A and B are shown apart, each in its own frame.
Chain A
Amino acid sequence: MTQSLVDRHDVELAAQAAAGGRREFGELVRRHGLAVRALLRRMGAQPSTADDVAQDAFIQAFERCAEFRGEGTFAAWVKRIAARLYLKRVAKESRYVAELEDDSTAPTVEHGDRVDLDEALKSLSEAERLCVSLCHGAGMAHPEIAAALNLPLGTVKSHVKRGLDKLRARLAPAGTLGRTQHVG
């Protein structure tokens, strides 16, 4: 009896997608679409832009599925593709170039009763938000981020550290860090 799609492992589905299996790839999109879209929004993309880039990322992932060897997770692989596509789009618009040198536009941190990650990320400057999301959301190493953003490594490290400090300050008083529920 044929195993249903939902029971199959990502690596197996990706291998079948690499052979042209669109149904199998559809299952992968169903599983990881939300995570990819969420990452792009956390990086600072507007919802419509995030969805466009996420779609492009999945289309590109389908075309390059044979390159996925299963060393990491499929979700991490697609997230990296999506993150790079988004950075490319942002770089074309030269949107974050000025922001990287001027953090004064970062919103001030206010402590509320309950703050989730997406709200907390809004208190970061665009550069900090990008660096933290790429590091913790897309799983990219600092040198990778520096290369992708065309920034010195030290600057990337500073952005990540400052961003994390702000996130902790924003999240900890509300108690969010201690009582989150792991969903996926």
Chain B
Amino acid sequence: MSADEFDPEIERLFARTPHMPDAALFTAQVEKRLEQGSRVRFLALSLAGVVGGAVALREAVTVNLNLGDGSGVVAGAAVNRGVSAVSTQAQGLAQGALDAVGLSGLEVGSLGAMQLFWIAAAALVAVAAAGAMRLAQDV
């Protein structure tokens, strides 16, 4: 701004804030949108956590435990049996959940850990791409 354009009175007029009767409503609307945004972010993170956790759990329960020497064979076999039982139960529960949402055709047991991993990764990449696009539009 050049010196001849600087006008303290004009500056002062621009600094004045007019009264608006709906000021409280405006603040409430912004707070509501912040709350909603926070909830969506929480749900997205929770979903990502659940998917990641499911992949990790599946990896853990399908791992072939090998306790090495002969003394551990019996104990190792017992642990393996227990783990397999838990795995079957977890798959049953997941399949039940899928059936409940109408995805009975999708068999969890048939998906490998890597497949689940890539599905989750693709979903996260899609979410990140959507976020980046939104940001690019805003900035």
Are the C-beta atoms of B31 and A55 separated by less than 8 Å? no
Are the C-beta atoms of A37 and B10 separated by less than 8 Å? no
Residue from A38, A51, A55, A171 in contact with B17 in the complex, judged by beta carbons closer than 8 Å: A38
Are the C-beta atoms of B23 and A33 separated by less than 8 Å? yes
A176 proximity list for chain B (CB < 8 A): 13
How many angstroms from the CA of A34 to the CA of B30 in the assembled complex?
13
How many angstroms from the CA of A182 to the CA of B14 in the assembled complex?
10
Residue from B14, B20, B33 in contact with A59 in the complex, judged by beta carbons closer than 8 Å: B33
| B1 at interface by CB-CB < 8 Å | yes
B69 proximity list for chain A (CB < 8 A): none
How many angstroms from the CA of A51 to the CA of B21 in the assembled complex?
13
8 Å CB contacts to A: which residues of B47-77? Answer: none
| A95 at interface by CB-CB < 8 Å | no
A interface majority secondary structure: helix
8 Å CB contacts to B: which residues of A96-115? Answer: none
Are the C-beta atoms of A182 and B16 separated by less than 8 Å? yes
**Binary interface profile of A, 140-184, with partner B (CB < 8 Å = 1, else 0)?**
011000000000000000001100100110010000111011111
B27 proximity list for chain A (CB < 8 A): 26, 29-30, 33
| B110 at interface by CB-CB < 8 Å | no
How many angstroms from the CA of A106 to the CA of B23 in the assembled complex?
31
A117 proximity list for chain B (CB < 8 A): 13-14, 16
CB distance from A122 to the nearest CB of B (A): 14
How many angstroms from the CA of A118 to the CA of B17 in the assembled complex?
11
| A45 at interface by CB-CB < 8 Å | no
| B35 at interface by CB-CB < 8 Å | yes
**Binary interface profile of A, 112-137, with partner B (CB < 8 Å = 1, else 0)?**
00001110000000000000010111
User: A181 — nearest CB in chain B belongs to which residue?
Assistant: B16
B16 proximity list for chain A (CB < 8 A): 117, 180-184
| B37 at interface by CB-CB < 8 Å | yes
8 Å CB contacts to A: which residues of B1-18? Answer: 1, 5, 7, 9-18
CB distance from A79 to the nearest CB of B (A): 10
**Binary interface profile of B, 18-52, with partner A (CB < 8 Å = 1, else 0)?**
11100100110111011101100000000000000
How many angstroms from the CA of A22 to the CA of B34 in the assembled complex?
7
CB distance from B15 to the nearest CB of A (A): 7
Are the C-beta atoms of B26 and A136 separated by less than 8 Å? no
How many angstroms from the CA of A164 to the CA of B1 in the assembled complex?
12
Are the C-beta atoms of A22 and B11 separated by less than 8 Å? no
Known: A117-B13, A168-B7. A59 touches B1 (CB 8 A): no
CB distance from A68 to the nearest CB of B (A): 15
| A54 at interface by CB-CB < 8 Å | yes
B29 proximity list for chain A (CB < 8 A): 55
Known: A22-B38, A58-B30, A141-B1. A37 touches B12 (CB 8 A): no
B: residues with CB less than 8 A from A are 1, 5, 7, 9-20, 23, 26-27, 29-31, 33-35, 37-38, 138
